[in-house]
A = this chain, B = another copy of it.
Amino acid sequence: MKLLLLFVVLAVLSTAFGSYIESSVWPKPAVFSKGASVVPVATFEFKTLGLSESDSTVPITLSAAYSRYNSMIFNHKSKTGDDNIARVAKVNVAVDDYSEAYPQLETDESYTLDIPAESTGEIYITAKTVYGALRGIESLSQLVVFDMDVKGFVISESPIHIEDKPRYAHRGLLLDTSRHFEPISSLKSTIDALSYAKFNVLHWHVVDTQSFPFESSTYPRLWMGSYSKNERYTQEDIQELVEYGRMRGVKIMIEFDMPGHAASWCAGYPEICPSMNCKQPLNPASNLTFPLITSLLTECTGNKVGGGLFPYSLLHLGGDEVSYSCWETSASIKAWETENGLSGSEATYEYFVDKAAGITRNQARTPVQWVEVFEHFGSKLDKNTIVHVWKEKETLNSIVSAGYKALLSNQDSWYLDHLDITWDQMYLNEPTDGLQEGSDPNLIVGGETCMWGETVDPSDVGSTIWPRAAAVSERLWTPKEQIDTVDVATNRLETFRCLLNQRQIAAAPVTNKVGRFAPREPGSCYVQRR
């Protein structure tokens, strides 16, 4: 143990004092070459290239990012004011299409980044879309370090050339705000962190059995299911949050889990539940249930592509863990089944999830449903369904073999509430491992790491999510052949974790054996006992 500590201390000294910490970007870019020049820089002067005269205003997404990143990167005073002026670096941003349309699954996030070896040179970022440019600016931000010896900022290994694009289109974090309410400030902080790790989706599991904090404008009693009047999201809050995410290239995929996990819906509308003693799954026999669902989803979608509160083309309908007992014990539901030619609860479950998915498709959205719908109904499902795997990863193979699109969140590797899953186990969860010959790996749309909220509130949400979620972000972003070994990645992730801390994200020590655990002993952020 003592010897081990000595090695750690030596490692700290050599990385921290011998030279700069190795330049690194998390997640690792597809192509990344670097040199050996130390280029001083005091601030970035961003220039947006190629805007036509009729369109010469810099898109707000970019101009806001320029100012946000400048204050985030240059967070120490340099030694002298005069010096600074000489070391302003010009950053030229060239985007093919400056549209600020809401990002979608197919939005191109590729970018290139070129940093010259001389401080007189200029930096170039090119991208197809403004959202790709945001990824390039994030990478640039991770390459600037403050040199305490000269009291100035530097890019330490120039020239740098990066060509980068994500491996998967949908890279998300599920956050549950039903078991505990997360204030808007906490959700914004989570979105900040997602953008640092180049995630592009916040999967908002907004309601569940325990509480319904979401404001519906058409069914205003729904949020009577919230924990308290203060623990609610207004439509105005939601709009602000969605725009906050868009500005950072983070889409929000809303989930209304149904027909199970829905007891909180009954607080405002008891008639959509089997009874107040047996609240879920939702009551398929009520005349109110599907009109209410249709209306609620219409608020989300605006009934058109890119409309409504949540413009993302994917909308999650849950569908998991449906227990039939409240249906089986309700005489009126049994009678309704008979009337409608449904042979029993299994048929009713299929009827429900199919009907909800149909409503969603009619509103220009692709429904996402948890893996149970595939387990129960297999190839009877409409092909325009994305199946979200949370149980055994093996099922992914069956789903893809059957020609369905899928999202991966297998709980044994990517559930953040499983505190015993360490970052490296998350890192090694390769989506295509175990896919059979002939299956189309392109049917895997992406994946998500899941933060269920039973023991998570604003006090520990940051340290439970980070840094482990970052392991998933690299797995989903970086080409498979570029993924580091755990040993190599550990140093890089420690550096990224320290950066998250500097950016006010409460990421826990990387080498923790248990998620969100406190640091075990005094020591540096950059190298900790393995």
Q: Chain B contacts of A378 at CB under 8 A?
A: none
Q: Chain B contacts of A458 at CB under 8 A?
A: 501, 504, 506-507
Known: A75-B185, A459-B508, A506-B506. A180 touches B236 (CB 8 A): no
B151 in contact with A524 (CB, 8 Å): no
Output the residue of A223, A458, A502 with the most chain B CB within 10 A: A458
The A interface, classified by DSSP as helix, strand, loop or mixed, is loop
A16 in contact with B459 (CB, 8 Å): no
User: In the complex, A127 Cα to B91 Cα: how many Å?
Assistant: 49
A132 part of interface (Cβ distance < 8 Å): no
A149 part of interface (Cβ distance < 8 Å): yes
B181 in contact with A524 (CB, 8 Å): yes
Output the residue of A186, A234, A453, A460 with the most chain B CB within 10 A: A460
User: In the complex, A147 Cα to B185 Cα: how many Å?
Assistant: 18
A236 in contact with B455 (CB, 8 Å): no
User: In the complex, A236 Cα to B79 Cα: how many Å?
Assistant: 8
A148 part of interface (Cβ distance < 8 Å): yes
User: In the complex, A184 Cα to B503 Cα: how many Å?
Assistant: 10
Query: Which one of A225-233, A307-315, A438-446, A480-488 contacts B?
Result: A225-233
In whole Å, how far is A222's beta carbon from the nearest beta carbon of chain B? 13
Known: A181-B524, A518-B455. A228 touches B15 (CB 8 A): yes
Q: Chain B contacts of A75 at CB under 8 A?
A: 184-185
Output the residue of A185, A227, A229, A236 with the most chain B CB within 10 A: A229
Q: Chain B contacts of A178 at CB under 8 A?
A: 522
- The residue in chain B whose Cβ has the minimal distance to the Cβ of A210 is B522
Q: Chain B contacts of A240 at CB under 8 A?
A: 77
**The residue from B215, B237, B455, B519 contacting A180, defined by CB atoms under 8 A apart:** B519
A151 in contact with B526 (CB, 8 Å): no
- The residue in chain B whose Cβ has the minimal distance to the Cβ of A176 is B522
Q: Which residues of A contact B (CB under 8 A)?
A: 12, 15-17, 21, 75-79, 145-149, 151, 178-181, 183-186, 189, 210-211, 215, 223-224, 227-232, 234, 236-237, 240, 453-460, 462-464, 498, 501-504, 506-509, 516, 518-526
Question: What are 26 contact pairs spanning A and B, CB under 8 A?
Answer: A15-B228, A17-B228, A76-B184, A76-B234, A76-B237, A79-B236, A148-B234, A181-B525, A183-B501, A186-B501, A210-B522, A227-B523, A455-B518, A457-B501, A457-B519, A457-B525, A458-B501, A459-B462, A459-B506, A459-B507, A460-B463, A460-B508, A464-B518, A504-B504, A506-B506, A516-B518
Q: A181-B525, A185-B503 are in contact. List 19 more A-B contacts (CB 8 A).
A: A15-B228, A16-B229, A17-B224, A17-B228, A17-B229, A76-B184, A77-B236, A77-B237, A77-B240, A148-B229, A183-B502, A189-B504, A227-B523, A230-B526, A454-B521, A457-B509, A457-B519, A458-B506, A460-B463
